[in-house]
Structure 1
Amino acid sequence: MTGPKKGSRGRAPKRNTAQGRGGVTRDTVKPARERTTSRGSEVESAGSGRAAGNTRTAKPAGSRTGQTERRPGGAKATINPARRGPGERGAGERGADSRGERKDGAAGRTFKPAPGRKAPPKPGRRPMPELKRVQLDAPAPDTVFVDRDGERLTFPDSNLKRVAAALLTEKKKAWRYRPFAFPLFSDSGHETAFHFDFYVYDYEDSVIKLIMVIPFESREVWDKVGRFKRQYPMYSYELWTPEKLAKLGGPRGRLDF
């Protein structure tokens, strides 16, 4: 009975083939590998430890004068750049001259290296903007002001205090000039006396506003005022600068107390 056996699906029966170590048979085909020696290139079989013979002689690197080599049909084949010898380059590649400038061999354009990055300019000190000085019409130095207790006061050494006293008197406020001091405690526990300039009272003889007259705001003033605010949060205060006095003394100026 001819034909494949039942259940074999048409496959030929396996042949008994002699095998060596590692399962190598005579029918196994392995690619040959090239080994470069001092005498040239030798093709060695992967399965054997001996060379098959000098099948290709390596050319020395100095014998390559061109970038192409001839094929039997007359066509030129470009050499792989990875297989070039040291110092070789293609005909259309960009070269570098002795000055370090790169030139394009086809168009002859010159490529100069980019200049180094400049250091950022050092920041200089900018002049402080000049503050707009407000010109106030202060009363004469010998002007006498009367407080809520009928005491007569003068401020010959301070134009700002004379302007503030005149404003409080004009607005008909009951005020006193530094009647008492507030004890302030520093972080180390030391006690210092802190004064406001004008103390404004209501009809029940209670302090409703504390006013400090200063020529300009400073860090030292805000430090003391901030400490006062933390220790005496029940009191309301204001800082009167020349700009604040000019605004309060204007036609639309009004006191919020």
Structure 2
Amino acid sequence: MATPIDFNSVLDTSNLKDRSVLITGAASGIGLACAIKMAEAGAIVTMADLHDTAGGVIQGILAEKNLFDMVPATLPNPGDTPPPAPSFACVSVNLEAVYNTCYLALHHFRLPRAAATTFKPSIVLIASLAAYIGYPYSTTYSMSKFGVRGLLYSLRERAMHSSIRINLVAPWYVDTGIAKQPDFVEDNGAVLNIIGFVSMDRVVDAVVRFASVQELCGRSVGIFPKGSEDLLDDLEGGYGGAIVSKHMREVQAVVVQEMQKQMQT
């Protein structure tokens, strides 16, 4: 088992100076915050997004509800046509685009390099804790985030043999544009009023740490309400199960306790 990542250690970003960095989804939120931090470290940052602003992308990220709720609740009359096909937009934004970007990144990383270097190129995947515990309000969101985790599992060993590093960051709720959407507030507001968001700084720290620390490869980090922790997401570590379960039990205990207090008042 690999030594867990120490998030209290000082992060040295000096080897990011003059490195080329591509950040997708960089118009706002986590992508924009990471772009700023990388640029401050001296990296040459290219920012990419489907839109100049975040609005249209946000609609795609949580475009669908739970598949059960999307199914028409009325029985068809004899001779009626089947129900319309369900939307799949969230998977296109959250998974297919990530898959295609990884393909292009690996292509360029495997090309002969102009100059000798010991720096190992890096892919940092942004998933979610939904990749481990699901997200009951959107089936396609859960599918897409589990899929991103699957990308890590399928690529990390092969990439490592070519000195390419791939890692994953899985945050709890972050206060981005998504969190301001009415449906999101309706679905998650009660829990967030009790637990709150995780700080953007902790998410960015994990991303930059993976980008700059050359020893980190094939790792997953959970950004939990009480702190960031290496998920030990491999065979020896139980594929993240023990760490995620510990933190989610803590969240559940706090929510239950607060709800009991509210019932007593």
Superposition TM-score tier, normalisation by shorter sequence: under 0.3
**Hey, which of these two has a bigger chunk of helix by percent?**
2
Q: TM-score scaled to structure 2, two decimals?
A: 0.25
